[in-house]
Structure 1
Amino acid sequence: MWRESWRELSHPLGFVNLAMWLFSGRCRSRARLDGKTAVITGCNTGIGKQTALDFVRRGARVIMACRDLQKAELAAEDIRALTKDVEGAGRVVVMRLDLASLASVRECARRLLETEQRIHLLINNAGVMACPKAVTEDGLEMQLAVNHLGHFLLTCLLLPRIIRSAPARIVNVSSLAHMAGSINFDDLNSEKSYSATFAYGQSKLANILFTKELAKRLKGTGVTTYSLHPGVVATELGRHFDSTYFWGVTWLFNNVASLVTKTPEQGAQTTIYCAVEESLAEESGLYYSDCKKTRPSAKARDDETARRLWEESARIVALGDWDPCTAEDSAPPSAAP
């Protein structure tokens, strides 16, 4: 800790970074992940990469499920270099996953089920934020597709294997921005109107409601679920700000807002906490921020909305009558929507 602090102090914003460490939550668990397999989405950069690095240091086999294989391989090489001298370090492998394509999600799940006999941790980390209106190849609004529906389908397809691997945990990276969102069942796909900010808030609210409903359906299986706000983090997530709002917003976020934003390592702490903290083993379906349990918005606590969102999501991704929470650990349905 002191070595890290002195390194940060040598940076021009060193005292700011150190202050963020002092006032931000930090995962202090020394739990090992030897023999455990973790799947992390969108982890070639930012808090996902830091989460992968932490898990490898703890001894886990980490599957980096990313859209851009070249960037993911470079990130994997960085992690291997940083952990080459760490005693008991785990391994990292790369697998392609494009959450904007339900076909890619199904293919990634198929490969994971072929290669991984156990999946102990699923970290649904990938996301897009406040992007201009875009529609995926499946005709879905981009933010809803990537942030929620792609992760919903991936989780469901892997769920029988995760249940077989219990005790296991599923962690969904949400955001404080969920407070600005609501689930608009009359226009879930933003076909009637589109607001980049609302669509993002809706998708992040969906993350929390999914976590809540999943916890209810998994009760008694040994699989627990968690959602979280990582904080305002200096990552590439704000790359669409200029095109969505006005020119210069990205520069302001990257330069001025950096005075009060977390580093990716700091931003990853609550994800890591939810994944490894021993005291959370009996908690499920709750929401966390700065490594402590936090109360989300009233909309995020609505049982009926959570149930209805599950059913609507299952319909959109074409799960049919297949129930991933009770299904045998065998080949999941392969029908495309």
Structure 2
Amino acid sequence: MSRYLLPLSVLGTALGGGVLLKDYVAGGACPSKATIPGKTVIVTGANTGIGKHTALELARRGGNIILACRDLEKCEAAARHIRGETLNHRVNARHLDLASLKSIREFARRIIEEEEQVHILVNNAAVMRCPHWTTEDGFEMQFGVNYLGHFLLTNLLLGKLKGSAPARIINVSSLAHVAGHMDFEDLNWEKRKYDTKAAYCQSKLAVVLFTRELSRRLQGTGVTVNALHPGVARTELGRHTGMHSSAFSSFTLGPIFWLLVKSPELAAQPSTYLAVAEELEGVSGKYFDGFKEKSPAPEAEDEEVARRLWAESARLVGLESGASSVEARLARK
């Protein structure tokens, strides 16, 4: 038996150290205790993972929460769960498919007509490293969902947000944006060989650039916008990555992955912080890594690139076309 003591001791030490490292990497709970009674919050992709736990945290703080999800059945189940956990009955599910411009316009129209105010918009939904899929409107899926869909949604709700000021927009990006590059000659990967990782990084860079340009345009309105990297978390977002492609990789890498990444609960804390922290009142156009403001990648700070991306995005989604004019008029009311 004694011959097993040393290996077991080493294993125990490694596991204990791993748990401590996991807690260090994960960070902690939102440092702000601020509440948001009566404030209306929209969280996209809120039926699971970081989005669901962000919605739950904000529901605990008294918000009127709207879960915006592609799968309405799962969304309603998440809303029921959050209502039960928080005893906040102002938690509702709404259908929103960010891979469909029509769905985005319908969702925005309903919000504008039914909600008196919108104080917080958390653009959280995302897809990661999926195959070369396209959205309903022909956009590369990661660029379309992670960025273009939220670009259109945010613009359609700006009137409502401005009318509810002070209001906040939180854009969930990723540290992966540092490896991104905006290829304006081929944003939708129609000319190049598709690279699922590069496409994901481009979409997350676009989110940070969007945050910068939107902040410039919102100066003096009482609406702020910030981007964040929530940390690497155990969510369904990584279902297309190689680690889940075989039983062997899942078996060998899974335990290490578990030790080193955040739980969805902890990964939701930075979004919660940006949404409620009183010390962030008036802070806009910044990039946060967890709870700390950091400098993003150099390309993410390029104002010319940000303005060019905005103009191209508006063209792609028909922001100034007749298709969106009804929503624009409603939003100004």
Task: Tell me, yes or no, if structure 1 residue 42 matches structure 2 residue 45.
Answer: yes
Q: What is the distance in 1 between the residues matched to 2:117 and 2:21?
A: 40
Q: 1:191 to 1:20 in 2, by over 3 A?
A: same
Cα RMSD over matched residues? Answer: 2.3
Equivalent residue letter for 1:167: P
Bigger share in helix? 2
- In the TM superposition, residue 182 of structure 1 has moved relative to its aligned partner by 0.5
- In the TM superposition, residue 101 of structure 1 has moved relative to its aligned partner by 0.5
Structure 1: runs of 5 or more not aligned: 1-12
- In the TM superposition, residue 256 of structure 1 has moved relative to its aligned partner by 3.1
Query: Computing the radius of gyration over CA atoms, which structure comes out larger, 1 or 2?
Result: 2
Q: What is the distance in 2 between the residues matched to 1:246 and 1:133?
A: 17
For residue 59 of structure 2, what is the aligned residue in structure 1?
56
Q: What is the distance in 2 between the residues matched to 1:124 and 1:186?
A: 26
Q: Any residues of structure 2 matched to 1:135-146 within 5 Å, and which?
A: 135-146=134-145
Equivalent residue letter for 1:140: F
Task: Tell me, yes or no, if structure 1 residue 240 matches structure 2 residue 224.
Answer: no
CA contact (8 A) 1:26 1:290 kept: no
- In the TM superposition, residue 283 of structure 1 has moved relative to its aligned partner by 1.1
For residue 118 of structure 2, what is the aligned residue in structure 1?
119
Q: What is the distance in 2 between the residues matched to 1:161 and 1:130?
A: 33
CA contact (8 A) 1:39 1:121 kept: yes
> TM-score scaled by structure 2?
0.88
Task: Tell me, yes or no, if structure 1 residue 284 matches structure 2 residue 284.
Answer: yes
Q: 1:196 to 1:321 in 2, by over 3 A?
A: same
Q: 1:253 to 1:221 in 2, by over 3 A?
A: farther
Kindly tell me the number of residue pairs found equivalent between the two proteins. Answer: 313
Equivalent residue letter for 1:315: R
For residue 212 of structure 1, what is the aligned residue in structure 2?
212
Q: What is the distance in 1 between the residues matched to 2:221 and 2:121?
A: 15
> TM-score scaled by structure 1?
0.87
Larger CA deviation: 145-154 vs 74-83:
74-83
For residue 172 of structure 2, what is the aligned residue in structure 1?
173
Q: What is the distance in 1 between the residues matched to 2:24 and 2:231?
A: 14
Percent of aligned pairs with the same amino acid? 52
Q: What is the distance in 1 between the residues matched to 2:55 and 2:250?
A: 26
Does the residue aligned with 1:94 lie in a helix, a strand or coil? Answer: strand
- In the TM superposition, residue 330 of structure 1 has moved relative to its aligned partner by 3.2
Larger CA deviation: 19-28 vs 231-240:
19-28
Q: What is the distance in 2 between the residues matched to 1:16 and 1:71?
A: 34
Q: Any residues of structure 2 matched to 1:1-337 within 5 Å, and which?
A: 19-23=21-25, 24-84=27-87, 89=88, 91-193=90-192, 194-242=194-242, 247=246, 254-320=254-320, 330-331=329-330
CA contact (8 A) 1:26 1:291 kept: no
- 1:204-248 Cα deviation digits (max 9, x unpaired): 0001000000000000000000100011100000111249x9545
Runs of 4+ in 1 over 6 A off after TM superposition: none
Q: What is the distance in 2 between the residues matched to 1:80 and 1:97?
A: 20
Equivalent residue letter for 2:280: L
